[in-house]
Structure 1
């Protein structure tokens, strides 16, 4: 029991450290993407942390199996390097017993991954979809940031305001540059620039929103040419896109797991098998990692790390490829993703029993050779 607690503690500490590092790397990349969208006025900066929080379960369900795999390699590799595992082996610690001890922390991680993949992750995706749909319904007026040029409408409009009141109803020092596109060909047909001393938002009874600009100029023309047209105005109205709120969740990743069971849709079955595969992945990578963690102290603890990572990547890549084939109907649902797990389960068993089998064969040959002599 003391050995079990010691091994579990070493494994869980290493797992936590590795998973934390991977989580920071992945979330940083995703946060930078959302931050760029917020800088362009496509997202309200106030919802960034909410989006990242709802995406967290989806990140963790993929990070934890990898963290466990690397945790076993690093933790047990250190024990082999420090000859601690040699001492344990002298007391009867075989790789099979080490695997049994490792399956207890693996069961804990599998339970967490199952909770995430079957419950929290779909709920998080649903909330992110809801937030993004609400963001799509915002007008340009709702996402303006004072003192910043913002690119809107897929880069065809640049908007700037020097000042904006807290209730977002009044602007001062307005600049709008818009590229005119041909409705037939989509080619550029010149540039329109609006400048105004002030502006305000006005909502019509039918729900249409206008940006009313006051005391300004409009310039129309083509860059590089001298035939610009300048118009001075006292009041000028700019139609803002009418909000189209859509909270319908069409993504299968956002569907509750209970709705996937019993579905005849091949894509729904593929999603269900993917969610069930993630907890199963935890046990199989444990089976793979235990024999791979055994290293010779003279060779160093990182000798098998690169091949082990490549093996894990091959496992995950084959799962993703099988999922895509299942989506397209190339693989029968009964076979689904299970054949991938079967292949790597067989690889794990082969690696676990290969050395004892080889030693038994060598011993039999030695006995046979001695008998003949």
Structure 2
């Protein structure tokens, strides 16, 4: 029992450290992407942390299996390097027994991953989609920041306002530059520049919004040419386009797990198998990690780390490829993603029993050579 607690603590501590580092790296990358969208006026800066919170379960469900895999490799690799595993082996600790001990923290991680995959992650995706849909309903002036030039995502429009009231209804010191295209939306025909002393938003009965500019000028022409046309106006109406926010999730990812059971839809069945595969992934990577963590103290603890990571990446990549093939109907539902797990279970068993079998064959060969000599 003391050995079991010691090994479990080493694995869980290393798992926590590795998962925290991976989570910070992935969350930072995603946050920078959302921050760039907010800088373009596509997202309200106030919802960035809320979106990241909704995305957290989806990140964790994929980080924790990798964290456990690396945690076992690093923790057991240190024990081999410090000859602690040699001492444990001398007291009867076999690879099979070490695997059984390792399945205890793996079970804890699998339960947590199952909770995330089957429950929290779909809810988080639904929450994220709800926020993005709300952002789609905003106009560029709902996310405008006074004193800063703001470009639409396609770069066809740049907007600036010097002053903006708290209710975002009144603007002052307005500048708008917009590219003009041919009627078929292809060839660019020049730019239109609008400047105005003040402006206000006006909502029409059909739900469209207009910016009513007052006391300003409109300039039409082509950059680099001196044939600009200037028009002075007292009142001018500009249709406010809605920003387009790009999402990273599909609607099926937001479907509650209970609605996936019994569904005849191929894509929903594929989603169900994917959600069930992630907790199963935890046990398979544990089977792979235990024999891969066995290293010679002279070789160092990181000798098998890189090949092990490649093996994990191949496992996950094959799961994703099989999921895509399942979506397209190229793989029968009965076979689904389970064959991928089966292949890597066989690889894990081969790694687990290869060294004992090799030693057994070597000892038999040595006995035969002695007998024949």
Q: TM-score range by the shorter chain?
A: over 0.9
Q: Which residue of 1 aligns with 2:89?
A: 89
Tell me, what secondary structure is at the counterpart of 1:158? strand
Tell me, what secondary structure is at the counterpart of 1:77? helix
Q: 1:355 to 1:252 in 2, by over 3 A?
A: same
Tell me, what secondary structure is at the counterpart of 2:130? helix
Q: Which residue of 2 aligns with 1:159?
A: 159
Is this contact kept in 2: 1:114–1:276, CA < 8 A? yes
Deviation at 1:103, TM superposition (A): 0.2
Q: Which residue of 2 aligns with 1:322?
A: 322
1:38-49 correspondence runs (5 A): 38-49=38-49
Q: 1:170 to 1:281 in 2, by over 3 A?
A: same
Q: Which residue of 1 aligns with 2:260?
A: 260
Q: Which moved more, 1:361-370 or 1:276-285?
A: 361-370
Deviation at 1:234, TM superposition (A): 1.7
1:198-209 correspondence runs (5 A): 198-209=198-209
Is this contact kept in 1: 2:140–2:243, CA < 8 A? no
Q: Which residue of 2 aligns with 1:59?
A: 59
Q: 1:78 to 1:243 in 2, by over 3 A?
A: closer
Deviations 1:297-337 (A, max 9, x none): 10011110111011111111111111111111111111111
Structure 1 runs not aligned, ≥5 long: none
1:301 corresponds to 2:296: no
Is this contact kept in 1: 2:58–2:116, CA < 8 A? yes
Tell me, what secondary structure is at the counterpart of 1:166? coil
Scaled by the length of structure 2, the TM-score of the pair is 0.96
Supply the distance in 1 between the matched residues of 2:64 and 2:243 (Cα, whole angstroms).
40
Supply the distance in 1 between the matched residues of 2:3 and 2:184 (Cα, whole angstroms).
74
Deviations 1:113-167 (A, max 9, x none): 1111111111111111111111011011211111111112621110001111111
Q: Which moved more, 1:182-191 or 1:114-123?
A: 182-191
Q: Which residue of 1 aligns with 2:174?
A: 174
Q: Which moved more, 1:363-372 or 1:266-275?
A: 363-372
Deviation at 1:268, TM superposition (A): 1.1
Tell me, what secondary structure is at the counterpart of 1:210? strand
Q: Which residue of 2 aligns with 1:100?
A: 100
Supply the distance in 2 between the matched residues of 1:370 and 1:294 (Cα, whole angstroms).
30
Deviation at 1:207, TM superposition (A): 3.2
Supply the distance in 2 between the matched residues of 1:256 and 1:286 (Cα, whole angstroms).
28
Q: Which residue of 2 aligns with 1:9?
A: 9
Q: Which residue of 1 aligns with 2:331?
A: 331
Deviation at 1:197, TM superposition (A): 1.2
Is this contact kept in 2: 1:191–1:223, CA < 8 A? yes
Q: Which residue of 2 aligns with 1:78?
A: 78
Note the aligned Cα RMSD (angstroms): 1.6
Supply the distance in 2 between the matched residues of 1:327 and 1:208 (Cα, whole angstroms).
38
Tell me, what secondary structure is at the counterpart of 1:30? helix
Supply the distance in 2 between the matched residues of 1:69 and 1:144 (Cα, whole angstroms).
45
Is this contact kept in 1: 2:125–2:253, CA < 8 A? yes
Tell me, what secondary structure is at the counterpart of 1:184? coil
Q: Which moved more, 1:360-369 or 1:1-10?
A: 360-369
Across the two proteins, how many residue pairs are aligned to each other? 369
1:128-139 correspondence runs (5 A): 128-139=128-139
Q: Which residue of 1 aligns with 2:368?
A: 368
Deviations 1:191-213 (A, max 9, x none): 10001111111223443322111
Is this contact kept in 1: 2:42–2:243, CA < 8 A? no
Deviation at 1:369, TM superposition (A): 3.3
Supply the distance in 2 between the matched residues of 1:42 and 1:366 (Cα, whole angstroms).
73
Supply the distance in 2 between the matched residues of 1:67 and 1:183 (Cα, whole angstroms).
54
Q: 1:265 to 1:33 in 2, by over 3 A?
A: same
Q: 1:38 to 1:243 in 2, by over 3 A?
A: closer
Scaled by the length of structure 1, the TM-score of the pair is 0.96
Is this contact kept in 2: 1:207–1:242, CA < 8 A? no
Structure 2 runs not aligned, ≥5 long: none
Is this contact kept in 1: 2:200–2:212, CA < 8 A? yes
Q: Which residue of 1 aligns with 2:289?
A: 289
